[in-house]
Chains A and B, each alone.
Chain A
Amino acid sequence: MSRVVEIPASFDDKSFEQFAASFSAGPITDRMVFDARPAQWASPYGLVGMLTAGQAIKEAGGPRPDFTVPAADDVRRYWSRTGFFAHAAELFDLRGKLPRIKPDEQSDVLLDVTPVRASEDVHAVVGKIQAGAARILTHELGIDAKATMGFAMALSEACQNIVEHAGTGGWVAVHAYTFRKRLGRRVVVIAVSDGGVGFRRSLEATQARRFGDRWGDAAALEAAVIQNTSRFRDPGRGQGIAGIKRYLGRWSGKLAIRSGTARIAIVPDWDDDPPMTEHLAPFPGAQLQIVIPAQEKSAG
């Protein structure tokens, strides 16, 4: 009998925890069925998270899981347009009817769900994002055209974390949408996820002794995100996340990284996420989300 992994109806970074708890409720080698029938919406974070789960099962040698597609036609169409199903088909046995979708260059999907395995993939992602990002950032978010470069830099550094540290491949997606619940404004969201070794294992050899008893997923995230440390002894390392933070600081953006059982966030004024959350359900690798909001028009 298969174990059901429930896909939240509205799948964002918050409800990801519900998904992670369902995914980790039993051994990864269980026969599983991912049930997305109730799904009404998924952020890029949710989409790359589901692929990461499928990838982790495959790499652990577990049985190929089933995936029941969303019941709602518009949701299936949106997920198709993001490229999700094309990649999911490599990891899951898809159950349900899938629409055929033509690419739409003016859509809110700035970057389809894209695999990141090597340096060349980062070049491709950065090359592909720049025209669409300029359109969205400038016209919809009111961000200076020059900031497009900074956006692409942040994306590049986020993807490089997979290439440099994960020890396996991962996924990236970039979408624009209106963030009704927490902000009431348009946002651009970069989501990057891998099923690799995670921050704790990546940093263990160089950082664990310094943290002593405190060492764990949260301490590893603190070392990487707050202290800008890296597993490499090269003093030039650790600048990627520092660069992302610098860019986000300028545009009131938010950075959140989840790895293992902990999640760290650099929280702007508009959000009330806790800076650190521990004792979460375990999930493979690392998941990073960057949110850049539309800029508030100054009065007068």
Chain B
Amino acid sequence: MTQTIRVDQLLRETVQGPYCDLVTRSTGRAVRTSIQQRLSARPGSLALIDFSDVGLVDFSCADEVVAKLLLEPGTGTTIVLQGLREEQLEAIEHVLEHHDLVALVHDPASGVARMVGRVSPDLRTAFFTLQQSSPSTVEMLAQRIGWAVERAESALLSLVRLRLALSGEEGFVVPLAPEPLS
């Protein structure tokens, strides 16, 4: 199940005043807490955190909202950030790199999710390949890339641990993967 959480709505509930900017640590903490409450109330496989209609995102708030959301164990829900403008994404990338984290960001041009932050080449390759052929088992992915099974398994398990991919009965999938051609 997928839920969309609109950050601008949470911001309005959090800040007393007509402000649309995601600034200050205390605001960030309050918004993150609201996001976590929504994730706990409606646990699902995928949450789209929507930044549309949010103004400025400063570094402190990006750290409190995005980095800490990804750092905390949470509900196991895979998180995709969407509706981000270039300069907002820049602040988020800065804090992700600071913490050695990776986040999934919806790319409006292609419609799929892409990884932002510090990503090893193996994880990037595994993610990209999985995006082309979801769902895939460890063996299918290993064969497609030409890797040993152990290497493919390690990469896939890391993607799941980092909440960048989901593991299901039919194999591993990445969020917002394009529908396979029939």
Contacts and interface: CB of A to CB of B under 8 A. Distances in A.
Interface of A: 119-120, 122-124, 126-127, 130, 146, 149-150, 152-153, 156-157, 160, 163-164, 235-236, 239-240, 242-243, 246
B67 A123 contact: no
Interface in B83-99: 86-88, 91, 94-95, 98-99
B118 to A, nearest CB: 14
**Interface residues of A, dominant DSSP:** helix
A163 B88 CA distance: 23
B59 interface: yes
A243 B91 CA distance: 8
B67 A236 contact: yes
B52 to A, nearest CB: 16
A242 B57 CA distance: 15
B58 A243 contact: yes
B15 A120 contact: yes
Interface string B90-112: 01001100110000000000000
Contacts of B58: 126, 152-153, 156-157, 160, 240, 243
B27 interface: yes
Interface string B23-61: 111110000000000000000000000000001111110
A236 B68 contact: yes
Contact of A160 (B18, B24, B88): B24
B27 A123 contact: yes
Interface of B: 15-21, 23-27, 55-60, 63-64, 67-68, 86-88, 91, 94-95, 98-99
Contacts of B87: 146, 149-150
Q: Of residues A123, A130, A150, A163, which shows the largest number of chain B Cβ atoms within 10 Å of its Cβ?
A: A123
A239 B94 contact: yes
22 contacts: A119-B24, A119-B25, A119-B27, A122-B23, A123-B21, A124-B17, A126-B21, A127-B19, A127-B55, A149-B88, A150-B87, A153-B56, A156-B24, A160-B58, A164-B25, A236-B67, A236-B95, A236-B99, A239-B94, A240-B58, A240-B60, A243-B58
Contacts of B15: 120, 123
B102 to A, nearest CB: 16
Nearest to B27: A119
Top 5 A-B pairs, shortest CB-CB distance: A243-B59, A149-B87, A236-B63, A119-B24, A123-B19
